[in-house]
Amino acid sequence: MNEPYERLLYSAANAAEVIKECIEQDSLLLLVCHNDADALSACGIMVGSLWRKDARFLARSVNRIDELFRQAEEGLVGADCIVFLDIGSGYVKEIHNRFGERRVVIIDHHQPQSLDVPKGFFHLNPHFQGLDGATQVSASGLAYLVSRALDEENYVYSPIAVVGALGDLQDKDGQRRLRGVNAKIVEEAVERGLMHTTEDLILFGRSFRPLHVALASTSSPFLPGLTGREDACYSLIASLGIKVKEGDAWRVLADLTEEEKSRLYNGIISFLASKGLPASSIARELIGTVYELAEEDRWTYLRDAREFAWLLNACGKTGNAWVGMAVAAGVRGGLLEEAQKLLEDYRVQMAKNMELITRPDAMTSMEHIVVINGGDLIDERQVSSLASLISSSGMIPQDKVLIAWARHGDRIKVSARASRSHVERGINLGSILSEVAGSVGGRGGGHNVAAGADVPADALELFLKEVDRRVGSQL
């Protein structure tokens, strides 16, 4: 990996040069990102880095890149230099058509639409160095490499890069831990004393939250019947004969003996199996590396990196992206309290969504895909998080690709997830969704394992049939 990594660093340094020039010329920079945890982490890292340089900039998150294109057509985008984060690699031509006159930096890890980079553009994407953007590095990792090239002191953002990668589920490959470029960033964060890592059960808050609360907070994997249900978690733990208190003090996961941990683990598995869930695939998701942010207070939702990612998602998917961006950039105090409230509401909302979509009529099984019909019941901004949850909770058959959708006006937002074994057998969801969406008048793209699309509502049936057929033929 070393040589591609060196080349990636070189490319990141070049991206930093372009941004540095913009800052030195006192140009107005515009940061544009998507609305998920990785995007907000990437943008937060860049916001923090630009603050430190006293640069003039605006930052905004968009649900779809078309929002920005529409504003550009109305002459409402005034910046001299535009930096795209976690978005843009699939739209190089469109971006060039609208912003060809300006300086543009694209920092993204989605599959690039083409290898050509227009003049005046800078395009940082790990696929150019032969690195897999789905597992090796996320947009926040790339933004971090750029920010480090801007200023050594920006190492303080290394934990945020880890948060973003976990938000994009880059830790999923049989074992739940980060690899590749992500692992290098983890190493750096650990060396600087900003992060602790441990191999353990992946409960949110293993070292500081009462056991039953930690289990109820755990949402990656999502544990149906347990996530969001402290009462159920308490009774499960008690029924396993595990003491929840030592004297007056609540016990935390880290206090448990190995024997107690395995009793807990097996207890969770039998609980899920008793609900008819494919417990063994969920079980695999429950063990791995836990990433803790050493400098965050223990009472916050920022201490556990996976939970931090959830908090950012909660901000982004409820129309409060700016709150998440600010927290990722380092703002605390009242804004953090607001973000934590958003996460609490979001957890409840997602638990409700999970109940809605696991009703038999909400799921349709086709030959190679399972379709989750969100209809008007699910907020379109939450479709992709929901798809990730369902795929991580192992609730659908492993041999099928998951497609979830929800309506917004006369459009349909689609989100798709495949397993690693699909990819090994040749599936590339990014290209399938891009081509099929394009053929029915929509647009789509993404990674081999995870992709999204936006299509006209009246083309939904045709779209699903064609995706099913394409998945079959790629297999």
Residues forming contacts to Mn ion in the complex (CB under 5 A) are: 38, 86, 138-139, 168
376 Cβ neighbours under 8 A, 6+ residues apart: 406, 407
Q: Give 86 or 285: the residue with its C-beta nearer to Mn ion.
A: 86
Nearer to Mn ion, 86 or 260 (CB): 86
Q: Are 131 and 161 in contact (CB under 8 A)?
A: no
Nearer to Mn ion, 43 or 370 (CB): 43
Shortest reach from residue 12's CB to Mn ion, in Å = 16
Minimum Å gap between C-beta 87 and Mn ion is 8
Contact criterion met (CB below 8 Å) for 231 and 265: no
- Least gap, CB of 387 to Mn ion (angstroms): 14
Paired residues of 176 in beta bridges: 172, 288
Please give the structure tokens belonging to residue 135: 């597992």
Least gap, CB of 352 to Mn ion (angstroms):
26
DSSP SS3 for 228: coil
Minimum CB separation from Mn ion for residue 36, in Å?
7
Distance in Å, CB of 167 to Mn ion, minimum: 8
Bridge partners (DSSP) of residue 198 are 290
Q: Which of 133/221 has CB closer to Mn ion?
A: 133
Closer Cβ to Mn ion, 136 or 138, answer by number: 138
Tell me whether residue 316 or residue 442 sits nearer to Mn ion (CB atom): 316
- Render the burial of 351-375: b for 16+ CB within 10 Å, e for the rest: bebbeebbeeebbeebebbbbbbbe
205 or 452: CB nearest Mn ion:
452
Closer CB to Mn ion, residue 138 or residue 154? 138
For Mn ion, which residue has the nearest CB? 38
- For residue 19, which of 62, 50, 61 has the smallest C-alpha distance? 50
CA atoms of 318 and 339, how far apart (whole Å): 11
- Least Å distance between CB 159 and Mn ion? 17
For the CB of residue 38, give the shortest distance to Mn ion in the complex, in Å: 3
Pick between residue 127 and residue 368 the one whose CB is nearest to Mn ion: 127
Distance between CA atoms of residues 133 and 127, nearest Å:
6
Compute the least distance from the CB of residue 424 to Mn ion, in Å. Answer: 22
Nearer to Mn ion, 168 or 307 (CB): 168
Q: Rounded to the nearest whole angstrom, what is the least distance from the CB of residue 96 to Mn ion in the complex?
A: 22
